[in-house]
């Protein structure tokens, strides 16, 4: 059975260029922190990659700190900024963290940890299209706020956020600003320098690179408290032996993604529009959660099938050879309904009836055809499961 992969927001297939770049490094030896010839050769690979990645992100090379991925970068940004703000001696202590209600759990759970440590945490609301309410955010940020964290693009419904306005608001109140740009980099225009942000997280495996490598972009001159201590790598902000092969793969992947991003944007939006239209033909009552009146990622489509058990539907599609998701992959298997959809004003029942189809570089029209062919039976059987579940609740 040929599998149809429609879960690119969870992870993407590696591009050949990234595989080739990593393979070259697998055949060599050298710790990038060593001073001998092999170590210096490895270091050159890392620094060349850092320069390439920085250029694609609109950052300076010195601002790019490599991490194990987006989750570590988010933790370092939020915890590091909070620790630094709380410990500041030249100003009143800042022990507050403000995040949007639709953040990835890498940010939300980190904010929860801050609360457990005695910090103040506030959630900024969004509207029905998952767009941040800037006026509400402004009411939450004050002289006690250490960091404001708002994602660049939402991983479940695709909505882009007003990052520059968030950065300006935070700066005006003396707080640091961070954005989780894991879903955005490689898919929409991202310019760290122009954004005004202090901190920005990204990762490799969402754009055709390897899993296990990401970066936190830290504005030059900003002091951040590290989470890891040891050899002092990455400006003493992220100790640990540097993964040269993964960094080379990351650089190759972001170059490919950024190089044809405009063409891919058009292609994926056309595929998404076709999929949306055909879904509405099969299920006229389907509710599209990805907004069409604000900027969104090109490849994400969140849809609610009323009366349907999304978990059942996902498994039925899986049996038919189609990969999709019920929400964020990082919370798969958890019974809780999507916090993103709830923040948008959807009911728990709606949230439990929602699937996310995310398209990417390998998605072709034949994949849409395969999904549409498998959907009617899966939908009918999932609605039967939904009726049974509803009867039990009643």
Query: What is the Cα–Cα distance from 232 to 72, expressed in whole angstroms?
Result: 17
Q: Which residues contact 136 (CB under 8 A, 6 or more apart)?
A: 124, 125
Instruction: Give CA 185 to chain center in angstroms.
Output: 9
Asked if residues 223 and 88 have their Cβ atoms less than 8 Å apart, the reply is no
| Phi and psi, residue 382, nearest 5° | -70, -35
Q: Determine the length of the chain.
A: 394
Query: What is the Cα–Cα distance from 78 to 114, expressed in whole angstroms?
Result: 9
How far, CA to CA in Å, does 210 sit from each of 6, 16, 176, 244, 250? Answer: 18, 11, 30, 12, 7
Active site residue 330: yes
Question: What's the Rg (C-alpha) of the chain?
Answer: 22
Options 202, 308, 324, 330, the catalytic residue: 330
Query: What is the Cα–Cα distance from 210 to 253, expressed in whole angstroms?
Result: 8
340: which strand partners? none
Query: What is the Cα–Cα distance from 51 to 31, expressed in whole angstroms?
Result: 19
Give catalytic residues, as residue numbers: 330
């Amino acid at each position: 059975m040929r599998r149809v992969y429609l879960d690119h927001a969870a992870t993407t297939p590696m591009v050949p260029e990234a595989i080739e770049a990593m393979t070259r490094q697998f055949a060599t030896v050298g710790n990038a922190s060593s001073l001998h010839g092999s170590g210096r050769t490895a270091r050159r690979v890392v620094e060349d990659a850092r320069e390439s990645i920085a250029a694609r992100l609109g950052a300076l090379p010195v601002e790019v700190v490599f991490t194990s991925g987006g989750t570590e970068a988010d933790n370092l940004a939020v915890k590091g900024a909070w620790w630094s703000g709380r410990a500041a001696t030249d100003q009143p202590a800042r022990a507050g963290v403000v995040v949007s209600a639709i953040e990835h759990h890498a940010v939300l759970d980190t904010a929860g940890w801050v609360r457990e440590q005695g910090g103040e945490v506030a959630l900024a609301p969004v509207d029905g299209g998952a767009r941040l309410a800037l006026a509400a955010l402004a009411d939450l940020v004050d002289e006690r706020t250490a960091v404001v964290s708002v994602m660049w693009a939402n991983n479940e419904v695709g909505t882009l956020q007003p990052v520059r306005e968030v950065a300006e608001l935070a700066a005006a109140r003396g707080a640091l600003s961070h954005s989780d740009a894991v879903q955005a980099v490689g898919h929409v225009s991202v310019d760290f320098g122009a954004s005004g942000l202090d901190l920005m997280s990204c990762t490799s495996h969402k754009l055709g690179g390897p899993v296990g490598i990401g970066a936190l972009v830290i504005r030059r001159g900003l002091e951040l408290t590290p989470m890891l201590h040891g050899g002092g790598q990455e400006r003493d902000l992220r100790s640990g032996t540097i993964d040269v092969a993964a960094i080379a793969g990351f650089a190759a992947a972001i170059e490919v993604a950024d190089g044809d991003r405009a063409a891919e944007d058009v292609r994926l939006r056309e595929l998404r529009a076709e999929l949306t239209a055909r879904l509405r033909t099969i299920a006229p009552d389907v509710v599209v959660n990805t907004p069409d009146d604000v900027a969104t990622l090109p490849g994400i489509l969140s849809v609610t099938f009323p009366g349907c058990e999304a978990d059942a539907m996902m498994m039925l599609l899986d049996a038919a050879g189609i990969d999709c998701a019920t929400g964020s992959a990082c919370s798969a298997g958890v019974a809780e309904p999507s916090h993103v959809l709830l923040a948008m004003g959807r009911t728990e029942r709606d949230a439990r009836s929602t699937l996310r189809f995310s398209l990417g570089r390998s998605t072709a029209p034949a994949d849409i055809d395969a999904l549409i062919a498998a959907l009617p039976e899966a939908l009918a059987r999932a609605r039967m499961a939904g009726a049974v579940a509803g009867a039990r609740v009643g």
